[in-house]
Structure 1
Amino acid sequence: MPAEIQPLETPQQKTGRWHLGALGDLLIVMAVLVGVKQSLLPFTYLYAGPASTTSAMIVATYLLWRRGSSWKALGFKWPESWWKIAALTLLSMVAFVAATGSMQFVADHFFEKVGTSGRFDHVEGNLWAYIGIMALVWTHGSFFEELLFRAFIIDRSSSFLGGGLRADLIAVLFSSVFFGYRHYYYQGIYGALVTGAAGLAFALIYIWVGRKNILPLIFAHGAINSLAQTLRYLGN
């Protein structure tokens, strides 16, 4: 490992110390997420988001590697118990429904619901479009988003702030706001708030159990998106 590259530290090692290297990693990945998507939106409304997360995954993987780490250190690993993963997946889905339902109740009083602004209208009744969108669901919409918006952004934000519970909670809030912003371009402020609430629920679960294994969040995210796209394909 190059001498000038500071390796990742354990939470115990980094508590109380600011980590400027973590800030650099965070800003680079966020710049990729925003820059790639914004540059592609004029050309493709559907694939700008997936292209940005794919690009960011490549960059984030490299940044972890150059610090002597990997996604495994952030919770992406084979579980010790699949029964526990299944239970935590169901819990994550319940948390998602509670968080989004609560935010929808509030948002309904102040903002217009615009849905997905026609972004997925081509899926209805179109088998090949449905298969294609399901491929995106289980890459961009589950694995990539959870690894980036929960694992990477929370870890790097908390590390920059010195670690510990307070830093974790600030990182949770920051990642949730950014996650909501990511969906504003096709869901409006209503969708950004609801998605941000979902991100908040998942982020809290991540700092609770996701650092040990993030698979429940990935599976919950994928299952929820799969259900939504299946209902859309069926015309419901």
Structure 2
Amino acid sequence: MQDPLATLSLGSRRRFLVELVLVVAVFGGLLAMMTIDQAIGSGPGPKIFVLVRMAALLLLCTWLLHRGGERWADVGLRRPARWWSVPLLLVAGTSAFLVIALTIYPVLGALGIEPPRVDHTALRGDLIEYLYWAGPVSWGTAAFGEELLLRGFILDRIIKVIGSSRLPAVLVSIVLQAAVFGSLHVHQGLGGVIVTGTIGVLFGLMWLLGGRNLWACIVLHGLINSISHYEAYSLPSS
């Protein structure tokens, strides 16, 4: 069976490359303006900025998809072909995430690499602050927004730039989008890049095993972020 992407013209692949570079550059530039750590505990302006920048990125990608005759459903935001695949992937993905969490930090320590620099102490004991970051941010910008951008738009564009939908090319694309995901967390240090990049590979594999569908990734991403914020909120006072 012929690979449908093998027929993509050089001009089309160049357009996909330009779109890929544009979205990654804008994404990186907006993240560099303010990290999540800087926004937590700040006033309403930074909090609104975190939501607005994700909305702007999604609007940009929506426009790029529309001008190419595509929709978000074409890059994974659609009803799963088999409803039971989502809870099954969530169980498998959660198990894999726990294995990663239990093994990667000792490995980083053995290599002399500092763990991710994450400071969410401003959430400690502040219920309103916690609810904001565990709700609209964890599920809106992180779970829904980042999955649409990374495992949806960016991964799709990498596959199309490579010009093959065959498994080896898709696996390479998953690793490349994970590298982008990790690099977007460079403010957390090398440890943060490695940890988030590894999680990016996990989400990419979940997307692939789920029939190139985003919903299992979205739910697991939201759960991970919400639990992380709850841990910071429930820390005992020093």
Q: Shorter-chain TM-score category? A: 0.7 to 0.9
Match of 1:228 in 2: 228
Shift of 1:223: 0.8
Match of 1:123 in 2: 123
Q: Can you give the 5+ residue segments of structure 2 that lack an aligned partner in the other structure?
A: 41-45
RMSD: 2.2
- Give the 3 Å change call, closer, same or farther, for CA 27–76 of structure 1 in structure 2: same
Separation in 2, partners of 1:207, 1:81: 14
Letter in 1 for 2:3: Q
- The alignment covers a number of residue pairs equal to 220
Separation in 2, partners of 1:104, 1:50: 30
Q: Secondary structure at the match of 1:15?
A: helix
Residue 57, structure 1, aligned to residue 58, structure 2:
yes
Q: How does 1:1-236 map to 2 (within 5 A)?
A: 12-15=3-6, 17=8, 18=10, 19-40=13-34, 44-46=38-40, 47=46, 51-109=52-110, 110-116=112-118, 118=119, 120-134=120-134, 135-163=136-164, 164-185=166-187, 187-211=188-212, 213-235=213-235
Contact 2:116 2:195 in 1 (8 A): no
Separation in 1, partners of 2:80, 2:170: 23
Q: Secondary structure at the match of 2:84?
A: helix
Shift of 1:39: 3.4
CA displacement, residues 135-160 of structure 1 (integer Å, 9 cap, x when unaligned): 20001110111111111111100101
CA displacement, residues 170-196 of structure 1 (integer Å, 9 cap, x when unaligned): 2111111111111220x2111221111
Q: TM-score, normalised by structure 2?
A: 0.83
Letter in 2 for 1:12: D
Contact 1:64 1:70 in 2 (8 A): yes
- Give the 3 Å change call, closer, same or farther, for CA 23–49 of structure 1 in structure 2: farther
Letter in 1 for 2:18: G
Q: Can you give the 5+ residue segments of structure 1 that lack an aligned partner in the other structure?
A: 1-10
- Give the 3 Å change call, closer, same or farther, for CA 114–24 of structure 1 in structure 2: closer
Match of 2:43 in 1: none
Contact 1:150 1:206 in 2 (8 A): yes
Contact 2:23 2:57 in 1 (8 A): yes
Separation in 2, partners of 1:12, 1:154: 17
Separation in 1, partners of 2:97, 2:7: 32
Letter in 1 for 2:128: W
Letter in 2 for 1:56: L
Shift of 1:235: 1.2
Quick check: which one's helix share is greater?
A: 2
Separation in 1, partners of 2:20, 2:150: 11
Separation in 1, partners of 2:201, 2:102: 13
Shift of 1:209: 2.0
- Give the 3 Å change call, closer, same or farther, for CA 78–207 of structure 1 in structure 2: closer
Contact 1:99 1:201 in 2 (8 A): no
Q: Secondary structure at the match of 2:163?
A: coil
Contact 2:142 2:221 in 1 (8 A): yes
Letter in 2 for 1:180: G
Shift of 1:81: 4.6
